[in-house]
Amino acid sequence: MFCTKCGTELLERDKFCNECGASTGVGAARQPERLTRPMNDAKIAGVCVGFARYFGVDPTLVRVLWLVFVIWPLPCLGIVAYIVAWIVIPKDTAALPSRQFQAANGPAA
């Protein structure tokens, strides 16, 4: 592996170039995004948005698919799955917009 910036030969595990400090993307590429519920884009609990972000698809597509699972193949299967996901998937507090942040922590004078 060689640095894309300066061409210095690097080890496969190197996260940064030891010559110019450029990121090799080693750690970043192998670390998948965590499955969380971003509350800033949530319609109910952010479950669909969380899955959409995790798989890199449109949140509306996930919502439509999830609604299909509510009625097919078993009634309520989608509802049970949603509640389970709601409980299991952690809330993405970092994605909270300032408006909700202020509501939770009191208005900023």
Left, alpha or beta for 107 (phi > 0: left; psi -120 to 50: alpha)? Answer: beta
Written as one letter, the residue type at 91 is: K
Residue closer to Zn ion (CB basis): 10 or 89: 10
Shortest reach from residue 29's CB to Zn ion, in Å = 17
Angle subtended by helix axes 47-55 and 59-71, to nearest 10: 120
- How many residues interact with Zn ion (rule CB under 5 A)? 8
Binding pattern to Zn ion, positions 3-22, x when CB under 5 A?
x-xx-x--------x-xx-x
Shortest reach from residue 4's CB to Zn ion, in Å = 8
For residue 47, give the nearest of 102, 16, 86 by alpha carbon: 86
Residue closer to Zn ion (CB basis): 19 or 33: 19
Rule CB under 5 A: say whether 34 interacts with Zn ion.
no
Shortest reach from residue 74's CB to Zn ion, in Å = 55
Three-class SS of residue 92? strand
Residue ranges that bind Zn ion, judged by CB under 5 A: 3, 5-6, 8, 17, 19-20, 22
